[in-house]
Each structure stands twice: as C-alpha cells, then as structure tokens.
Amino acid sequence: MIATPRETVLVNCTVFDAVAGSARADHAVWIGADGRFRAVGTADEVLPEARLTGAGIVDLAGGYVAPGLANMHVHLSLGLPGHLGDAVHRANLAELTLLMADSARRSLHAGVTTARLVGESRGADFALRKGIENGAVDGPRIFTAGQALCCTGGHGWDADALEADGADGFRRATRLQIRGGADLIKVCISGGIAGEHEHIHTPQLADDEMSAVIDVAHDWGRKVTAHAGPADSVRRAVELGLDCVEHGYELDDDVTRLMAERGVWYVPTIVVSRCRDFFEASGVPRWLMDRALGAGPRHWESLQLALRNGVPIAMGTDMPPHAEYDGTTATVRELEFMVEAGMTPLDALLSATIRPADWLGKLADLGSIDAGKHADLVVVDGDPSRDISALRTIHLVMKGGVVYRDDRGLSSTTTERAGFANTGSTP
C-alpha cells in the first residue's frame, strides 16, 4: 500500500531556516495532506488553525529540524572496477534497476531526499525516477543526466558512458540524453581516478566538442556539469560556458577565481580521494586505490582554493550516499570534510540544502522549510548549522510529508497514524 501524507504538525522542535541561515527555537511545522509545508512558526501561531483540519500532532522531543539533504553527485549504478562493477556489469536491465532501487531506498533513509545523478547505465535511471515519482519505489527526488558523455575510450566508457567524437558526435549524444528525459548533461572532459589507461590530468575533449555539448544543452534549457581534473581543462570549459565542475582534482588559484567570476559551481566529492576502507571493501584494484589516495593532497588544496576564492559549492559524494564511512555515511562525512577544509558549518549545511535547489532551478519547491515547498526534512539531536556533525544523529526522515525513517518512534505519538511508511527503519 502506498503511504500518503496527512495533515500533521511537528511540535517541540527547533527549525533551521535555510533562507535566513539561522535556527528558530520553540517552533512548529504544519504539513498538509498534499505533502507540502503549510506553515512554520511558533506553536501558538500554527496550532489553532491546524487543529481545525484535524491534524495529528507529533512531538519531536526537542529535536532539530533541517531540510532534507541533497546529494549532487550520485551514481546509483556505481560500477567501479571490483565487486561493485562486477555486480553492475553482470546484471540484466531488470536486475540493474532493482540494484539501483535498493541504493535509492538506502539513500533516502540516510537523509538524502534529493539526488542529482551524474551518469547511469542503460536508461534505468529514467525508469527508477518514474517509479519513485509514482510512489511505487522508495527513494529521493531524482534529477538525472542519463548517461555521461565521453570521447572514444574516455573516462567512464567502461561504466556505460556514451562515447562520441567530434562536434557533431557530441551534439547527437547530448540530444539523445535530452530525448531520454535528462534533466542536465554530464560530460567527461579529462581523465580521472577510475580509468586504467588514463591519467587525472589527461585532457579528453577538444574545444569544439565541449562547445557542442554546452551549446545544445543550453539551447534546450539544460545545464552542463563536467567530470574534470586539471585546471587547464576546467578553464577551457568555463570559458565556453560550463555550469558546474565535478571533482576538480587539480584546480589552481586562477581557475577558481575564474569560476567564481563566471558563477560556475563546484561539487568537490572530497571523500573519493580519502576513502581507503570503502575501496578495500569494494575490492578495487591496487592501481585505482593508489591513484585515488595519491590525489588526496592536491584535491584538498583545490577545495581550499575554491573556498578562498568564493566559488559556489554544492555537496556531492560520488560514493553511494548511504555508504558507511568513519561511523557515519559518506554524505555526512563529505560535509565534515568540507568544514575541516575551511567551510563554516552553516555554509556546509547550505551546500546540501538550499544551494543545490538553486542550481537545480527548484527554489520554489525544495531546499528549505517554507510554506508551499515539498515537506522534505530530517530530524537530528543538535544544531548542524553550528556543528555539522550533528547530522550523524539523523533519526527521522520525511519526504513529501511521509516519514520513511523513524528510529525513535516519535511519529507514533500522532493522533493521525496514516501517512507514515517504513517507520523504525535504518539506513
């Protein structure tokens, strides 16, 4: 049975205001039967009118309420060489879709209510997105690039990136993703960690090829993000109109200043160059682990340069959002690393909430706890805008007014029990 939201008011909580960048104590959140926030304010302001609708009351016992997290670099069909890649490549399309659905469910339970997919396999992402939207599958709101684009033999070719060559080839490849339903376009413009026969600094696209992707995507109202390592490849793409950089393993002062000047976003995925335990558990080959961990110091410097020069940053992991990492998830650990690199906890929280909504063009619907927006939220024990590690205590996850995780059974206090699904589950 598909769970549907009901009129509900969350009380006895502190609410993080992502627009003002502050936490509001002793507040209440009214969620409507349409799965959107109806009102946010003090209990005295919210409860009288809400009670007229027969709304159930949920006591959050002093918890902190933050918007659901957005992870902006996700591969639900992650196919790194090793166990993960073997499972993906052996799977037929039905099996692959089920593997991705499981990862989507785990991601949602980890507090990720919005995921930007940046390269998937065989069109399964489009089917999964539809299943989630129809309520048949539990998962985050999906914005997907379809298949990533690469040159022949380029980064990701063995993970089902779509190969093309020449400006005309990349125009066609871009249009094929848009035809399939892509919300954005992902293009690989340099080498990376997971390509055996390349280096991170290997340039892989000519200017006319990058321009072809960007121009077609922009003509169709889609943004373009690029897998990129070296500063020179990033600079060329930024000058051609690129919208976002993934990884940026080897950025420099000049290119980060240019990115800030042009309003080009950065998704650093800093966890991927410091996740030895994940690589070992995934059985990746030694060359991949050595390359990834060896890139760590320079990758860290790139993030610090981006922070220093004011590049707009959104959080993304490249690792599965729910993957176990240092006693928490990859999503939360990424945010902690960003703070360790010099970002304030407030900015880190914004990089995983309202700022992704801005990049996605969904500020009217996502990213903050405001009337009219989708009721996507997490509940934690402390204030993550002051201590980002408070996100390690996520114990309740709601998307669209439906609770998908409730470790402490707080939702059972409501007088209207309907509208809660999978309560008590853990990531």
Percentage of the chain with pLDDT > 70?
96
Torsion of CA 358, 361, 366, 371, to 10 degrees: 100
Over residues 25-74, the pLDDT tens digits come to 999 999 999 999 999 999 999 999 999 999 999 999 999 999 999 999 99
> Which pLDDT does position 217 carry in this prediction?
99
Residues 242-264, mean pLDDT to the nearest whole number:
98
Where residue 62 falls (left for φ over 0; alpha for ψ -120 to 50; beta otherwise) is left
Q: Which residue has 């125009």 as its token pair?
A: 171
Residue 365 predicted with pLDDT over 80: yes
Confidence category of residue 2, pLDDT binned at 50, 70, 90: low
Of 356, 387, 373, the closest CA to residue 70 belongs to 356
**CA 126 to the chain's CA centroid:** 17
Give the pTM.
Answer: 0.95
Which DSSP string corresponds to 328-347? EEHHHHHHHHHHHTT--HHH
Q: Which residue has 């890649």 as its token pair?
A: 85
Q: Report all structural domains of the chain as residue ranges with CATH numbers, in order of start.
A: 8-68+368-413 (2.30.40.10), 69-359 (3.20.20.140)
Residues 247-269, mean pLDDT to the nearest whole number:
98
Residues 366-393, mean pLDDT to the nearest whole number:
98
Q: Helix axis angle, 253-262 relative to 296-308, nearest 10°? A: 50
Residues 72-91, mean pLDDT to the nearest whole number:
85
Over residues 100-140, the pLDDT tens digits come to 999 999 999 999 999 999 999 999 999 999 999 999 999 99
Residue 393: which residues within 8 A CB-CB, separation 6 or more?
Answer: 380, 381, 382
Residues 172-188, mean pLDDT to the nearest whole number:
98
Residue 286 predicted with pLDDT over 50: yes
